[in-house]
Structure 1
Amino acid sequence: MKFRGKIIDVACLNHFTRVCNTISRLTKSCVLRLTPDHLFFILSEKVANGGVSMWCELAQVNFFDEYQMEGVTLDDNEICLEVAPENLARALKTVQNSKALKVKLTKKHCPCLTVAADLPSLSSVSRVVTHDVPVDIVPRKLWHEFKEPHMPDFDVSIYLPPLKTLKNVVDRMKNLSQFLVLEANMSGEMNLKIETDLVSVTTHFKDLGNPPWGDDVSQRDREVMAQVRLDVRRLQQFLTGQQVHPTKALCNLVHHRLVHLILLHEDVSLQYFIPTVA
């Protein structure tokens, strides 16, 4: 297995760093899947057991000036690495002003993603800073656990309000209850609700719009609300962590089962699945 990549463009490096920062705030550990055309950050907890799942996809050509990889075999030309995204984000943060950044899969005391940066210098002597980020090689027999998740058979799909506004609302609601009800319909309406023995609070959003997914959705009653009951900390973690600055943000609701959040950017797509709680 071999992997090496090089980033020269400062804007691409900053964007890649923001993506890694976002991932690091969503999970302590994830799988980095490398293919000839894409990089994927994957978290695959068992949703049935209350865990969240994540799928973040990056087209390598939009980030790397040079990109070479050789997988396990020609038929299975990919590499799966278990990595702590916080370590990767920390390494990238220290090299933001570099003239060039190289990332390489190496074997030292253990398998590592070695991040090497050529930093500007006032003298003729170049300064190279190197970080070794430990990784674990995911065995081929486990690869089936890290494939792209299926689009759920949702009841409602709706565009999200501005994420900063949504975060401010959720931050306030977190102080009132551990749980939050999110409901929406196909008429562009979304409500966030907190109900306890002491207080009942609802925030209404209107005219958000609904993505045009096709005939199946258009045939449903547009006024009927689908709802999920969530651990408010899960939703807050997602909203606090995102630095992708999406051009579109939407969510799909599977009534009483799941919320599927999607952030879309020209270079990045991030999907996040939060299961309902009883």
Structure 2
Amino acid sequence: MRFRAKIVDLACLNHFSRVINTIAKLAKSCTLRLTESKLYFILSDRVANGGVSMWGELCQPSLSSSSRIVTHDIPVKVIPRRLWNDFREPSVPDFDVSIYLPALKTMKNIVERMKNISNCIVIEANLSGEMNLKIETDVVSVTTHFKDLGNPPWASEDGCQSSAPGRDLQSMAEARIDIKKLQQLLVGQQVNPTKALCNIVSKRIVHFILLHEDVSLQYFIPALV
């Protein structure tokens, strides 16, 4: 099937390429949904069954008279309308803690070193802007501490600016996840987000959000039992 797109300018093409290259590091194939205003990139492995799920959004720029046609042939399988509900944005349970991430390059370097010691990593954070990355084996225990990261002002139904109203600010929420899946996200990302967030549902799921201008990328990693 022939895929045809209008590219407004070179900057737009480079921007699109960065998003595609990031997704290519996460999966060999994904679902593309097109609307008049956005492109959606979907990796719909079932988190409940241990798979990783991804949801990416890219706003389509308004086309100008200077746009040009770019044609590239790629194998495409059209999804029947009756299956469209299987490719909706993943729902996130009420999370216990939401926190801004440290510099992703710093985090990537730490995770790469930890990967050589353990197959699992524990991510824990609280509502006081503190986050820890921990690995534990029979012979060694290593923890990296981050402070003053800040917590997003998510609004709850009662107006409280907190992801979990009434939660102790020092209490840690944690999830133990596959360290290779986390490394895959950190190594592959080329979006260079202006904001990167992490939402933790204790012992259930870690939800990452990368934001940059008109791009948002959500990545869901299930907790290990």
TM-score, normalising length: structure 2: 0.92
| Equivalent position of 1:133 in the other structure | 74
1:84-103 per-residue CA deviation (whole Å, 9 max, x = no partner) reads xxxxxxxxxxxxxxx97535
User: What's the CA shift for 1:24?
Assistant: 0.2
Counterpart CA distance in 2 for 1:4 and 1:133 is 10
Counterpart CA distance in 2 for 1:242 and 1:193 is 22
| Equivalent position of 1:44 in the other structure | 44
- The one-letter amino acid paired with 1:136 is K
| Equivalent position of 2:168 in the other structure | 221
State which of 178, 182, 187 in structure 1 corresponds to 2:123.
182
User: What's the CA shift for 1:219?
Assistant: 2.5
Counterpart CA distance in 2 for 1:19 and 1:136 is 21
User: What's the CA shift for 1:148?
Assistant: 1.6
| Equivalent position of 2:191 in the other structure | 244
Q: 5+ residue gaps in structure 2?
A: none
1:113-137 per-residue CA deviation (whole Å, 9 max, x = no partner) reads x42xxxxxxxxxxxxxxxx111100
Counterpart CA distance in 1 for 2:37 and 2:212 is 17
User: What's the CA shift for 1:37?
Assistant: 1.1
RMSD of the alignment, in Å?
Answer: 1.8
Paired residues, number: 218
Kept in 1: contact 2:3–2:74 (CA 8 A) = no
| SS across alignment from 1:134 | coil
State which of 188, 191, 194 in structure 1 corresponds to 2:135.
194
| Equivalent position of 1:125 in the other structure | none
Kept in 2: contact 1:6–1:65 (CA 8 A) = no
| Equivalent position of 1:255 in the other structure | 202
Counterpart CA distance in 1 for 2:69 and 2:166 is 51
| SS across alignment from 1:192 | strand
- The one-letter amino acid paired with 1:137 is V
User: What's the CA shift for 1:147?
Assistant: 1.1
| Equivalent position of 1:161 in the other structure | 102
> Identical aligned pairs, as a percentage?
66
| Equivalent position of 2:34 in the other structure | 34
Kept in 1: contact 2:195–2:210 (CA 8 A) = yes
- Give runs of ≥4 in structure 1 deviating > 3 Å: none
Counterpart CA distance in 1 for 2:171 and 2:4 is 51
Question: Which protein is richer in strand relative to its size?
Answer: 1
Counterpart CA distance in 2 for 1:150 and 1:226 is 19
Counterpart CA distance in 1 for 2:37 and 2:67 is 21
1:123-165 per-residue CA deviation (whole Å, 9 max, x = no partner) reads xxxxxxxxx1111001111100111222431000000000000
User: What's the CA shift for 1:50?
Assistant: 0.3
| Equivalent position of 1:269 in the other structure | 216
Q: 5+ residue gaps in structure 1?
A: 67-98, 104-113, 116-131
Counterpart CA distance in 2 for 1:65 and 1:134 is 29
| SS across alignment from 1:204 | strand
Counterpart CA distance in 1 for 2:214 and 2:3 is 21
